[in-house]
Structure formats: C-alpha cells, structure tokens
Structure 1
Amino acid sequence: MNEKLLAYGSIAAAIIVMTTIVFPFWNLIPDMVTEKVRVVYKEGDKCTVETSDGFNIPHIPCANAKIGDNITASYDVKVKDREHKI
C-alpha cells in the first residue's frame, strides 16, 4: 500500500514540477494589448508594425493601410518576451 502511495505521489510531484518550472502553461494564454502602431512592411492583407518602443510585430491584419501609416492594432504582448528569450 505504501509503495503505491509513494509511486502516485512521485508521479504527481513530477507533473507539478513539469507544469510550473519546465513548461509554464500560462505563457500560452495571450495577453492582448491595443495601441497605435506604425506600418513598416505590408504583404497582402498582413502588415509588420512597429510598436511605440520600437519592437516589430509581424502578421497584423491591415487591409487598407500603407507603409508609414499609423494604425490601431491588437497583439499579444508576450511576443516581445518570447523574442527576447531567443
């Protein structure tokens, strides 16, 4: 009985460690920000925009914008954090 309990406890502890330290699942939840950005590149209906702090965010929908236009766009702010970690 104690061996089974020890095995289940070890598995539960390993799962907790993996989900909190090795792969933090909260990084998958988007943290959306809306701000005024400048279009720096356009391809079709998608743009690469520059944020107020000079960071480029790709794949923003912008049907009628031209390069140099200021538009309001929403993006996941965690993109910046992921880029800095690479």
Structure 2
Amino acid sequence: MNKSSVNSNQTKNLQPVFAVGVMLAIVVLMMTMVWPVWNLFPQYVTENVKLVSVDSSGCWADTQDNYLVKLVNSCSGQPGQHIMGTYDVKVKQRMHTFLP
C-alpha cells in the first residue's frame, strides 16, 4: 500500500465525523440563540391579582405591575375583585419584549 492511498482512506473516514460535528454545532446554535428551548416550559407564579374578566374561556386578571394575564386555575369571582391567582410569568416576559 502506498502512502497516498492511506491518506485518502483517512480523509474519507473523517468526513462523516466532520459532518456530524457541523450538524451538532448548528443544532446547539439554534437551540441557544435562535429559539431558546427554555421558553417552552412554564414558570408559574401565584400573587394577588385584580380580576378583569370572567368568561367561559377562563379568567383574565391585572397583575400588580399592570400586565393583563390569563389565570391557569379556575376562579370564582366578579370583575374588580382581588384574588390570589396563578399565571405563567413568562407571558409577561414575552409581552415586555415586544412593548416599547
């Protein structure tokens, strides 16, 4: 076997490893920079909120820092009433991103 055929075989063996490495780097970049996966997982907060609307789709409330959020638990109250409500705090973070 000559030296050029050995180098050729080694290069062919490294090509799939390089391709997998590039794909892995792209996936890691996409997961951290472009579309963060941690936004999929809710982070619930329970605090004293003021009910704004109660309808068949659920309860909407105004938080202490004036964000309108949908409560995740069922509520029995009238609009204007203050109750302890649970909501996903990441909804507020997403709204804050798009508000001026």
Across the two proteins, how many residue pairs are aligned to each other? 85
Confirm or deny that 1:26 pairs with 2:24: no
Which of 4, 27, 31 is 2:16 aligned to? Answer: 4
Unpaired segments of 5 or more residues in structure 1?
none
Tell me which residue corresponds to 1:83: 95
Confirm or deny that 1:41 pairs with 2:29: no
TM-score by length of 2: 0.77
Tell me which residue corresponds to 1:68: 80
Q: Which has the higher helix share?
A: 2
TM-score by length of 1: 0.88
Percent identity for Structure 1 against Structure 2 = 35
Structure showing greater relative contact order (alpha-carbon pairs closer than 8 Å, 6 or more residues apart): 1
Quote how far apart the aligned CAs of 1:84 are: 2.2
What is the RMSD computed on CA atoms of the aligned residues? 1.5
Letter in 2 for 1:35: E
Q: Which has the higher strand share?
A: 1
Work out which of the two has the higher radius of gyration on C-alpha atoms and give 1 or 2: 2
